[in-house]
């Protein structure tokens, strides 16, 4: 009898457990945590999911792959109905086998893991952002067709994300008859790019620099380039999130964006409004935050329809955009393909102007 | 449910076949699942090895290209460096997808990726330094990275080794599992064997015990002991036979009793008849004697005509006694006819009873023939069993070949297949035994059939005797009719005599003539009396023939114990 009572509490009156995994102490990751808490607060204020409140179980993966495996195992065993995370591709790739295996695999819905590999990680891995294939290719087309440049250098962060953007960019740029003078890796914790820029300064032929990595590294590249008087346009994919806050250094940097806070969709305006009210000092939310906010709302819809059984949640989620209607979120229209990707989502090219990212002309 | 031989044999064989099939399917299932596990392990080992080797080779080639660039900074060498690095990452992803990884394996793969990335960055820096002409700095940098390269390759090898040793452990587990399954199969095999032996014994008892009782009963009937037998419960087919034999015994007993009674009656009647014939013969003798005396008197009359009165008186006396004797003859004749008529009915009844016997015997013969046919169907069924066992034997042979093909893992099954083959041989031998038993039953049935035919022949002899008796009686009736007619004639003549003697008394003148007439008449009477005597003898011989027949019948019936 006591067991029955416990079970009953869990299945009807108790909270719906949702895992949240990401690098919350990292400037890109902290808006994700805020957005998730905002969404949960709003949903619970409206009565939760079929009368049951959502309870977030937050686990920091410190943008580290070993931590990601540990966190994934922990959430898996905690009995969460679904996981929102991880943020970066490297951690999503490392953790995916944990979520996709065992007796009761669990959905992991990543807001911003854009590496191409993420498509093939398993039936329980989904994401709410376009793949780097889309970012890299969009950037290559922008450089060749809009900026009309034909020679450039690529600096890439040597992990799944950086390599993914580098590969798709190089592929599309080569197809458009562009020439890459150098392709050089760096490490995220020690982004030592000085010697590469020495070489660039020496031969002086490069018309642009593409940074397949994150904001800090791009700023480092900009600083080293300034020192050597290498003044060429710098471009990057969505990893450059937040660079607009980097002051005059970042002015004119091109950033491909799956999401811009200035987009005027109704769902986005509701999100921005709620975010600003709850976090007045945090500034505008980034793509991972918007996608996390969408992920929580999407899970509410799916769990309300399919219940809290993990396999049922997975089936209902996979049906979004095919047998179930598409979901209209802050990041746009969500419709999954058979790999759990959102192929229809657009990639915008933004440019940093006076501390904000604006939609570039024609981007 | 198991009342008939057929159903008992079928049930026994069904259980045996079921056990064989169970054993076979279990063995097949065991081998299949082991095969699958082995395939999985081998596949995993192969994949692990392939990916591990590929990874080592990709990383080694990448490092070689990176080193080469330091001396020979060409674009294609740089491209080689980049391409092999990418393929190493791809192989790491494939490694990550292997199902058998532990968390610590995943940590190692993460470390391999991180080390590779660090190496690549170091080499990329060294290449940039080379491009800038700072070769010494490049050399120093790459010299510092060598231990990292060694660690990387060491990690990959350690990972592959860990996977291989896990496969080995799993292989050992599989072996233990195979041994456990083998033990289970042995257990099931011995249980099957025990069940088979029990079924064979029970079946044998089910069939042979009732048969032995039946054969004993048939032997008793054959030896003429018709007393009722208790056979107890037995299979349907044999029960039918037992009931048929019981019925046959009862009816035979009935018939033998009836015939014996009839024979005794006939015997009694024939004795009476014989006595009466003798009486008749003695009466005829008396008549003869009287006639002789009358003839002598007539002679005396002719010669002593003058003593007519005295002679007439004596003549009248003689005529009177003559009439009296004739009347007695008629009366005796009537009695004989009545008796003969009465016995004719008896004899006809006896004949009908005998026909009944023949029918019973024929029915029994038909039933015995049916039994013979029934035993043929058992033979057919045993042939079927023999076929099944020969097919099982063939299956076992195939299984042995498959087991030999399976090699090490099939060795246990080969033993099982051999035992299945032996089991098939034992069922074949058991079927052979049953065939022999059935053959024995059939020979017994043939003997019973022979006995039946003998009985039939005996009964047909009895029928002939009865027919002869009936014929004798008819002849008796005819003879008696003749005797009666003769006696009537005698009586009429005697009356005529008396009338004539009376007339002689009145007409003395015609005495002489009448006396001579008397003499001739006396001769006629004597002839009639002699004729009568002959008839009587014939009748006596018929009576003795009947008596003899009745005795033979009695003896025949006495051979049966009822």
Stronger pLDDT, A57 or B321, i.e. the higher one = A57
Question: Hey, is A321 helix, strand or coil?
Answer: coil
CB A114 within 8 A of CB A89: yes
Alpha-carbon gap, residue A84 to A87, rounded angstroms: 9
Please say if the pLDDT value at position B558 is more than 80.
no
Residue A132 φ/ψ, nearest 5 degrees: -60, -25
Closest by CA position to B148, among listed B115, B114, B108:
B115
Query: What residue of A is the nearest CA neighbor of B94?
Result: A121
Tell if the CB–CB gap between B107 and A66 is shorter than 8 Å.
yes
Q: What is the pLDDT of residues B169-204, one digit of tens each?
A: 877 888 888 888 888 888 888 888 888 888 888 878
Torsion sign across C-alpha atoms B396, B397, B402, B404 = positive
pLDDT value of position A3: 39
DSSP code, position A25: T
Strand order in A356-359's β-sheet? A179-186, A151-157, A209-212, A234-236, A254-257, A348-353, A356-359
> Hey, is the C-beta of A245 within 8 angstroms of any chain B C-beta?
no
Interface of A with B in 84-143 (CB under 8 A): 93-94, 97, 101, 117
Question: Hey, is B216 helix, strand or coil?
Answer: helix
Contacts of A187 in chain B (CB under 8 A): 117-118, 121
Contacts of A186 in chain B (CB under 8 A): 121, 124
Strand order in A82-84's β-sheet? A54-60, A16-22, A82-84, A107-110, A125-127
CB A78 within 8 A of CB A20: no
> Hey, is the C-beta of A79 within 8 angstroms of any chain B C-beta?
no
| Mean pLDDT across chain B | 78
Question: Hey, is A261 helix, strand or coil?
Answer: coil
Could you count the other beta carbons within 10 Å of the beta carbon of residue B165?
A: 10
Rounded to the nearest 10°, the torsion over CA A305, A306, A308, A312 is: -160
pLDDT value of position A7: 37
Quick one: average pLDDT of B43-60?
Answer: 86
Closest by CA position to A116, among listed A171, A65, A72, A73:
A171
Q: What is the pLDDT of residues A15-63, one digit of tens each?
A: 999 999 999 988 889 999 999 999 999 999 999 999 999 999 999 999 9
- Which pLDDT band holds residue B284 (cuts at 50, 70, 90)? low
pLDDT value of position A5: 36
Closest by CA position to B392, among listed B30, B19, B32, B7:
B19
Contacts of B124 in chain A (CB under 8 A): 184-186, 196
pLDDT value of position A111: 95
Alpha-carbon gap, residue B128 to A199, rounded angstroms: 6
pLDDT value of position A8: 35
Please say if the pLDDT value at position B462 is more than 70.
no
User: Which of B93, B121, B128 comes nearest A158 by C-beta?
Assistant: B121
Name the burial class of residue A153, with classes exposed (0-12), middle (13-18) and buried (19+) by CB atoms within 10 angstroms of its CB.
Answer: buried
Cα B269 to chain centroid, rounded: 50
Interface of A with B in 304-333 (CB under 8 A): none
User: Which of A93, A158, A199 comes nearest B128 by C-beta?
Assistant: A199
> Hey, is the C-beta of A69 within 8 angstroms of any chain B C-beta?
yes
Tell if the CB–CB gap between A184 and B124 is shorter than 8 Å.
yes
Contacts of A199 in chain B (CB under 8 A): 128, 131-132
Contacts of B92 in chain A (CB under 8 A): none
CA distance A92 to chain B (A): 12
> Hey, is the C-beta of B140 within 8 angstroms of any chain A C-beta?
no
> Hey, is the C-beta of A159 within 8 angstroms of any chain B C-beta?
yes
Q: What is the pLDDT of residues B345-359, one digit of tens each?
A: 776 776 677 677 777
Q: Where in chain A is the domain with CATH 3.40.50.2300?
A: 2-130+262-334, 133-257
pLDDT value of position B376: 76
Residue A122 φ/ψ, nearest 5 degrees: 145, 165
Contacts of A117 in chain B (CB under 8 A): 93
Query: What residue of A is the nearest CA neighbor of B120?
Result: A185
Alpha-carbon separation of residue B399 from A157, B30, B180, B388, B395 (angstroms): 61, 13, 20, 16, 6
Cα A261 to chain centroid, rounded: 14
DSSP-assigned beta bridge partners for residue A55? A17
Helix (H) or strand (E) holding B393: helix B308-406
Tell if the CB–CB gap between A65 and B86 is shorter than 8 Å.
no
Here the tokens at position A175 are 């197809």
Residue B394 φ/ψ, nearest 5 degrees: -60, -45
Please say if the pLDDT value at position B428 is more than 50.
yes
Q: Does CATH number 3.40.50.2300 belong to domain A2-130+262-334?
A: yes
Q: What is the pLDDT of residues B442-457, one digit of tens each?
A: 787 778 777 777 776 7
Task: Please write down the long-range contacts of A72-79, taking CB distance under 8 Å and 24 or more positions apart.
Answer: A72/A21, A72/A98, A72/A99, A72/A108, A73/A98, A73/B103, A75/A19, A75/A21, A75/A106, A76/A102, A76/A106, A78/A17, A78/A19, A79/A17
- Pick among A185, A188, A228 to test the B interface (most B CBs inside 10 A): A185
Alpha-carbon gap, residue B401 to B398, rounded angstroms: 5
Stronger pLDDT, B50 or B463, i.e. the higher one = B50
Helix (H) or strand (E) holding B355: helix B308-406
Helices (H) and strands (E) in chain A, counts: 11, 14
Closest by CA position to A57, among listed A28, A29, A15, A94:
A15
CA distance A10 to chain B (A): 30
Q: Which domains does chain B have, with CATH numbers?
A: 5-215 (1.20.120.1730), 223-558 (1.10.287)
pLDDT value of position B109: 87
**Percent over 90 (pLDDT), chain B:** 8
Stronger pLDDT, A284 or B229, i.e. the higher one = A284
Question: Hey, is A337 helix, strand or coil?
Answer: coil
pLDDT value of position A2: 37
Alpha-carbon gap, residue A358 to A199, rounded angstroms: 32
Here the tokens at position A325 are 């209607």
The angle, 0 to 180 degrees and rounded to 10, between the axes of the packed helices B75-97 and B5-71 is 150
Stronger pLDDT, B27 or B524, i.e. the higher one = B27
Interface of A with B in 167-186 (CB under 8 A): 167, 182-186
Spatial CB neighbours of A19, under 8 Å, sequence gap ≥ 6: A56, A57, A59, A75, A78, A80, A82, A83, A84, A85, A106
Closest by CA position to B15, among listed B184, B192, B205, B235:
B192
Q: What is the pLDDT of residues B60-116, one digit of tens each?
A: 999 999 999 998 888 899 999 999 999 999 999 888 877 777 888 888 888 899 999
User: Which of B97, B121, B132 comes nearest A186 by C-beta?
Assistant: B121
CATH number of A133-257: 3.40.50.2300
Region for residue A346 given its phi and psi (left: phi exceeds 0; alpha: psi -120 to 50; beta: otherwise) = beta
Name the burial class of residue A221, with classes exposed (0-12), middle (13-18) and buried (19+) by CB atoms within 10 angstroms of its CB.
Answer: buried
Tell if the CB–CB gap between A101 and B99 is shorter than 8 Å.
yes
CB B218 within 8 A of CB B444: yes
> Hey, is the C-beta of A187 within 8 angstroms of any chain B C-beta?
yes
Question: Hey, is B88 helix, strand or coil?
Answer: helix
Name the burial class of residue A286, with classes exposed (0-12), middle (13-18) and buried (19+) by CB atoms within 10 angstroms of its CB.
Answer: buried
Stronger pLDDT, A86 or B231, i.e. the higher one = A86
pLDDT value of position A11: 45
Q: Is the pTM of this model over 0.80?
A: no
ipTM over 0.95: no
Stronger pLDDT, B280 or B45, i.e. the higher one = B45
Here the tokens at position B282 are 């003695």
* Per-residue confidence in pLDDT tens, chain A, 363 aa: 333 333 333 445 689 999 999 999 888 899 999 999 999 999 999 999 999 999 999 999 999 988 899 999 999 999 999 999 899 999 999 999 999 998 999 999 999 998 888 888 999 999 999 888 789 999 999 999 999 999 999 999 998 889 989 999 999 999 999 999 999 999 988 788 999 999 999 988 899 999 999 999 999 999 999 999 999 999 999 889 889 888 899 999 999 988 888 888 899 999 999 999 999 998 889 899 999 999 999 999 999 999 999 999 999 999 999 999 999 999 989 999 999 999 877 788 999 998 888 888 766
User: Which of B97, B106, B117 comes nearest A159 by C-beta?
Assistant: B117
């Amino acid at each position: 009898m006591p067991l029955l009572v416990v079970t009953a509490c869990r299945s009807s009156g108790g909270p719906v457990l949702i895992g949240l995994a990401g690098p919350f102490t990292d400037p890109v990751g902290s808006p994700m945590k805020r957005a998730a808490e905002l969404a949960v607060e709003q949903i619970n204020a409206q009565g939760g999911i079929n009368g049951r409140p959502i309870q977030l179980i937050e686990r920091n993966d410190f943008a580290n792959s070993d931590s990601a495996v540990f966190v994934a195992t922990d959430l898996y065993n905690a009995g969460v109905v679904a996981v929102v995370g991880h943020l970066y591709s490297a951690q999503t790739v490392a953790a995916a086998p944990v979520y996709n295996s065992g007796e009761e695999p669990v959905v992991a819905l990543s807001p911003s893991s854009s590496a191409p590999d993420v498509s093939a990680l398993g039936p329980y891995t989904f994401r709410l952002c376009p793949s780097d294939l889309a970012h890299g290719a969009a950037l290559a087309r922008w450089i060749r067709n809009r900026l009309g440049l034909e020679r450039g250098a690529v600096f890439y962060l040597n992990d799944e994300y950086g390599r993914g953007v580098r590969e798709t960019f190089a592929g599309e740029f080569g197809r458009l008859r562009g020439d890459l003078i150098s392709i050089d890796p760096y490490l995220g914790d020690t982004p030592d790019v000085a010697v590469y820029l020495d070489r660039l300064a020496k031969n002086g032929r490069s018309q642009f620099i593409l940074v397949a990595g994150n904001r800090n590294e791009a700023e480092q590249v900009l600083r080293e380039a300034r020192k050597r008087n290498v003044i060429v346009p710098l471009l990057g994919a969505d990893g450059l999130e937040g660079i607009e806050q980097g002051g005059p250094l970042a002015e004119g940097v091109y950033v491909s964006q799956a999401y811009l806070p200035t987009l005027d969709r109704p769902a986005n305006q509701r999100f921005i409004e709620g975010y600003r009210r709850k976090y007045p000092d945090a500034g505008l939310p980034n793509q991972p935050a918007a996608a996390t906010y969408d992920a929580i709302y999407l899970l509410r819809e799916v769990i309300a329809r399919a219940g809290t059984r993990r396999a049922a949640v997975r089936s209902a989620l996979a049906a979004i955009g095919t047998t179930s209607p598409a979901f209209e979120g802050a990041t746009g229209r969500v419709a999954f393909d058979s790999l759990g990707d959102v192929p229809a989502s657009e990639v915008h090219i933004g440019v940093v102007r006076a501390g904000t990212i604006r939609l570039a002309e024609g981007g | 449910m198991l009342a008939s031989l057929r159903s008992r044999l079928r049930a026994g064989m069904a259980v045996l076949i079921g056990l064989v099939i169970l054993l076979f399917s279990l063995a097949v299932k065991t081998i299949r699942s082991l095969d699958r596990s082995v395939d999985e392990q081998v596949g995993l080992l192969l994949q692990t090895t392939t990916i591990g080797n590929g990874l080592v080779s990709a990383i080694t080639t990448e490092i070689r290209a990176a080193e080469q660039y330091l001396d020979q900074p060409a674009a294609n060498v740089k491209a080689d460096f980049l391409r092999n690095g990418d393929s190493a990452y791809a192989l790491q992803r494939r490694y990550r997808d292997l199902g058998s990884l532990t968390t610590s394996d995943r940590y190692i793969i993460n470390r391999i990726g991180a080390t590779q990335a660090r190496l690549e960055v170091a080499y990329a820096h060294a290449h940039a330094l080379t491009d800038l002409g700072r070769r010494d700095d490049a050399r120093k940098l790459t010299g510092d990275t060598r231990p990292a390269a060694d660690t990387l390759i060491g990690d990959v090898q350690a990972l592959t080794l860990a996977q291989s040793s896990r496969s080995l452990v799993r292989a050992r587990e599989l072996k233990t599992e195979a041994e456990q399954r083998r033990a289970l199969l042995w257990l099931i095999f011995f249980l099957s064997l025990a069940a088979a032996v029990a079924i064979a014994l029970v079946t044998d008892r089910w069939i042979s015990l009732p048969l032995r009782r039946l054969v004993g009963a048939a032997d008793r009937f054959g030896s003429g002991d018709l007393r009722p037998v208790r056979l107890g419960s037995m299979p349907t087919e044999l029960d039918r036979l037992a009931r048929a034999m019981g019925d046959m015994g009862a009816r035979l007993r009935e018939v033998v009793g009836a015939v014996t009674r009839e024979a005794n009656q006939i015997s009694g009647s024939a004795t009476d008849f014989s006595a009466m014939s003798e009486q008749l013969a003695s009466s005829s003798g008396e008549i003869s004697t009287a006639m002789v005396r009358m003839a002598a008197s007539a002679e005396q009359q002719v010669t002593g005509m003058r003593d007519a009165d005295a002679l007439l008186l004596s003549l009248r006396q003689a005529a009177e006694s003559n009439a009296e004797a004739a009347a007695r003859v008629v009366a005796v004749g009537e009695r004989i006819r009545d008796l003969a008529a009465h016995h004719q009915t008896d004899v006809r009844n006896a004949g009908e009873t005998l026909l009944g016997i023949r029918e019973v015997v024929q029915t029994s013969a038909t039933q015995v023939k049916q039994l013979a046919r029934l035993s043929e169907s058992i033979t057919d069924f045993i042939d079927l069993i023999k076929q099944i066992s020969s097919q099982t034997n063939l299956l076992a042979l195939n299984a042995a070949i498959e087991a030999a093909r399976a090699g090490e893992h099939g060795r246990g099954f080969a033993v099982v297949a051999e035992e299945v083959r032996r089991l098939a041989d034992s069922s074949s031998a058991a079927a052979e035994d049953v065939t022999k038993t059935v053959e024995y039953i059939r020979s017994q049935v043939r003997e019973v059939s022979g006995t039946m035919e003998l009985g039939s022949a005996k009964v047909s002899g009895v029928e002939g005797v009865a027919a002869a008796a009936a014929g004798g009686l008819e002849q008796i009736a005819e003879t008696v009719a003749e005797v009666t007619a003769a006696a009537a004639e005698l009586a009429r003549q005697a009356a005529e005599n008396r009338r004539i003697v009376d007339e002689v008394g009145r007409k003395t003148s015609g005495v002489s003539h009448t006396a001579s007439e008397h003499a001739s008449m006396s001769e006629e009477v004597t002839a009639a009396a002699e004729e009568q005597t002959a008839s009587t003898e014939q009748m006596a011989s018929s009576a003795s023939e009947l008596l003899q027949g009745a005795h033979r019948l009695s003896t025949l019936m006495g051979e049966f114990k009822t």
